[in-house]
Amino acid sequence: MSVAFVLHRAAKVLTLAGPQRPRRGREMSDLCILEDASVAVDEDGRIAWVGSAHNLDVPGDPEIVDCRGKTILPAFVDAHTHLVYAGDRKDELEMRLSGADYEAIFAAGGGILASVRATRSADEDALVTATRSRIRRMLRAGTTTFEIKSGYGLEPATELRQLAAARRLAREDGLRIRTTCLAAHAFPEDVRDGRRTADDFVSEICETILPAAVREGLADYADVFCDRGAFSVEQARRVLARAKELGLGLRVHANELGPTGGARLAAELGALTADHLLFVDDDDRRALARAGVTAVLLPGTSLVLGKPFADGRALIEAGVPVAVATDSNPGSCALENLGLVLALACYGNRLSPAEAIVAATHNAACTLGLAHEVGRVEPTMAADLLVLDTDDPRDLVYHAGSPLAWAVYCRGRRVDRLDEAAKS
């Protein structure tokens, strides 16, 4: 064992030790905490050892990082983002604060379609540069693993360009990114104005966009916005069935705007996740639990849009695994700090601090097929670690949004100072 450095004598280490499958029910409250503990990281950026500081015995002369008074936990995993886009929608922010409803803004040609117009006009280099800035901010707040969706193209070239930009960021910046083709995000202008039918666009997604994304190795998952004013259950089923044929994992934007059947469809098709879930009943929750679908809660969007919060407590009590993500996007929620969103999951979705931590780390990693790699502090796992400047992890909720991230490591590399390094 060749140890590069040791995070030594932390007040607490939240190991989240346990099975690699998604945690549910009472399992989500167990952080498996070690006190006065250390974490040794090897030269390959993996956790070599974790345990009581008094039992630390590593060879050589590794760097010792004094973590007294600190808390170490797995770095955050953001399982639902829309980070690759051009432009912004700050004008809509002011419209909403003045009383305009998101659905009314969308119906008037704003919302997703405004981002589509801007993103179609941007080349890949511009998309990479803009997204890199967003990711740098998220790294500083403790997130080291990202799911990134397309969905601001609504036509083949731009959808593929968004996915290619995300893949390029993973390759060039050494980031851990999973990509999702969300061509079924909204209907484009030519469908809205009657120049072609909705079925024609669904056919384009199924026969052109999804196959191209798979052929070019650009997508890991497919997603559909199955909701009021978006894709119907039957349209969504068609897209998701085709994605499954092509070997893509399934994710579903479901029941955000009403009880429109998306959650039940996710259960029927065995999707990895059903996301949003503001409007679900007991039958929906039972179906999700039986199917093993993870509910991805996005409380930042509820906050920004002034919508109800999904009932996370009811989902957990029904045995549904729960994850928490930012939904970071240009319009309905531009929040980038998953630590803040984790706190919103407690105040809005009724999770406990421990449940919210599990939801934003291990359970989120499970939805991305990365539970063997990130989300726990155990030997052989990647050293994706967040060091908090507090001895009590509940401060993530108690002091919601405060800059508690003292250090952030991705594969054993310090990443919360990348902007400083770039300037030097």
Mean pLDDT, rounded, for 122-144: 98
Residue among 325, 382, 374, 385 at smallest CA distance from 20: 374
Q: What is the CATH number of the domain that holds 9?
A: 2.30.40.10
Q: Residue 71's beta-bridge partner residues?
A: 12, 388
Report the CATH number that the domain containing residue 231 is assigned in CATH.
3.20.20.140
Task: State mean pLDDT over 88-103.
Answer: 83
Query: Are both 167 and 62 inside the same structural domain?
Result: no
Q: Is the pLDDT of residue 165 over 70?
A: yes
Distance CA 238, CA 188 (A): 18
Same domain, residue pair 380 and 395: yes
Are 10 and 150 found together in one domain? no
Q: Are residues 95 and 240 in the same domain?
A: yes
How much is the pLDDT for 174? 95
Residue 104 has pLDDT above 80, yes or no: no
Together in a domain, 180 and 109: yes
- Residues 416, 300 share a domain: no
Residues 85, 149: one domain? Answer: yes
- Mean residue pLDDT across the chain: 96
Residues 54 and 99 grouped into a single domain: no
pLDDT band, residue 109 (cuts 50/70/90): low
Residue 423 clears pLDDT 60, i.e. is over it: no
Domain identity same for 118 and 261: yes
pTM score: 0.96
Range of the domain at 23: 3-74+376-423
The reply to whether 187 and 236 lie within a common domain is yes
User: Which domain-ending residue is among 345, 367, 389?
Assistant: 367
Residue 418 in this model has a pLDDT that exceeds 90 = no
Segment 200-222 shows an average pLDDT of 98
Which one of 344, 367, 390 terminates a domain?
367
Q: What is the DSSP string of 263-325?
A: HHHHHHHT-SEEEE-SS--HHHHHHHHHHTPEEEE-HHHHHHHTPPPP-HHHHHHTT--EEE-
Do 406 and 360 fall within a single domain?
A: no
Do 304 and 159 lie in a common domain? yes
Average pLDDT over residues 20-49: 98
Domain boundary among 367, 388, 404: 367
Domain count, the chain: 2
